[in-house]
Amino acid sequence: MAMTINEIYQYVVEQGIEKDPRKREGVEEMLEREKKSYEEMKDEEKKDYDTERLSNPYSDTRILCGDPETEVKRLMVGVDIEVGEVLLADRLAEKGKPVDLLVTHHPEGKALAGLHYVMHMQEDILARYGVPINVAEDIMSSRISEVKRGLMPMNHNRAIDSAKILGIPMLSAHSVADNQVASYLQELFDNEEPRTLGDIIKMLKDIPEYAEAARHNAGPEIIIGNKKRRAGKVLVDMTGGTGGSEDAYEKLSQAGVGTIVGMHIKEGHRKKAEKHHVNVVIAGHMASDSIGMNLLLDGLEKKGVEVIPCSGLIRHKRS
């Protein structure tokens, strides 16, 4: 059995919407607004517009190269697919194990250059946890511009150019996977209501990907607070492109959030969280990205596609 690249792409986008923090209605509303603004564009603006944005709410999830109708029997998937992994796929082909599609979690090419668009998702997450939407939009606005500027000087197409030379198709699946891990953990904490930060760490370490990471010194850690501190209301902050605004911690604290469980945190953000008494648990970057990807890959394997994990992906299958 095989799937086409386009079928895989449609599948991951659909799964992303399924677990989107804005819910399906919120996503549909956003796509509707996008269509309206596209229709109002001048031809000049339409020329550069990526029309995938009309049906796919995730700018960081794209077919990056290759014919979408290509049949995929085997894919190689990593947290980062760089030139090294592209060459690795080509070596595998030489050894009689051709890779039909490279799947990168972290975006490349136009999916990287447009990463900042998905950050608007964070406005809705903040609003869901009690931050007024006007405040959420305002604090995210300057952070989104900052991220956009930070992406501008990058060599976005480097890995894709290598993949094109070797004729290996490539796809990125970022927020669609981050939505999986965020909703998976949020549901877990909402149901179990951990009393302390120690309980949160224990719950995380019961998950195979985190258990594996812990054995490699990359397991979940309490960054602010200690294991005896009470967790209060827990917010899983793992989707929406990249780290949000430093100003969010003050607003979340006021809105009643006790603990944030994230993948990683910048020093400036950590200081703001500490100042505003918000506990922070860092679950781990590669392990968290792996859970998100694994939840998608399980579905693809069920459809008959073989998966070769690489580049930091801790593969664990759930039944």
Interface stretch with Zn ion, choices 57-65, 252-260, 284-292, 308-316 (CB under 5 A): 284-292
Backbone angles phi, psi at 235, to 5 degrees: -115, 125
CB 33, min distance to Zn ion, A: 27
Q: Which of residues 286-305 bind Zn ion (CB under 5 A)?
A: 289
Closest distance to Zn ion from the beta carbon of 284 (Å): 10
Question: Helix-strand-coil percent breakdown of the chain, rounded to 5?
Answer: 50, 15, 35
- Nearest residue (beta carbon) to Zn ion: 289
In angstroms, give the least distance from the CB of 94 to Zn ion: 30
Nearer Cβ to Zn ion (209/289): 289
Per CB under 5 A, 100 contacts Zn ion: no
**For residue 309, what are the contacts with CB-CB under 8 A and spacing of at least 6?**
76, 77, 78, 315
Strands 62-65 and 170-172, bridge-based pairing = antiparallel
Q: How far is the CB of 285 from Zn ion (least distance, A)?
A: 6
Number of Cα atoms under 13 Å in the Cβ half of residue 5: 22
Q: Closest Cα partner for 291 from 208, 227, 202?
A: 208
Q: Looking at 3-11, 120-128, 253-261, 282-290, which segment touches Zn ion (CB under 5 A)?
A: 282-290
- Is the Cβ of residue 212 or residue 289 nearer to Zn ion in the bound state? 289
Write out the two tokens for 151. Answer: 């992406």
User: What does the per-residue mask of binding to Zn ion show for 199-218, with x meaning CB under 5 A?
Assistant: --------------------
Q: Which of residues 247 and 289 has its CB atom nearest to Zn ion in the complex?
A: 289
Which residue reads 């020093």 in tokens? 267
Q: How far is CA 101 from the centre of its chain?
A: 19
Helices assigned H by DSSP within 238-284: 248-254, 267-275
- Min separation Cβ 288 and Zn ion, Å: 7
Stretch in the footprint of Zn ion (CB under 5 A) among 205-213, 224-232, 283-291, 307-315? 283-291
Query: Closer CB to Zn ion, residue 57 or residue 262?
Result: 262
- Which one, of 174, 157, 153, 147, lies nearest residue 64 by Cα? 157
Task: Using the Cα atoms of residue 120, residue 241, residue 118 and residue 290 in order, give the sign of their dihedral.
Answer: negative
Measured from the Cβ of residue 149, the count of other Cβ atoms closer than 10 Å reads: 10
For residues 239 and 259, which CB has a smaller minimum distance to Zn ion in the complex?
239
Residue (184 or 196) nearer to Zn ion, CB: 184
For Zn ion, give the closer residue by CB, 85 or 289: 289
| Residues at the interface with Zn ion (CB under 5 A) | 289
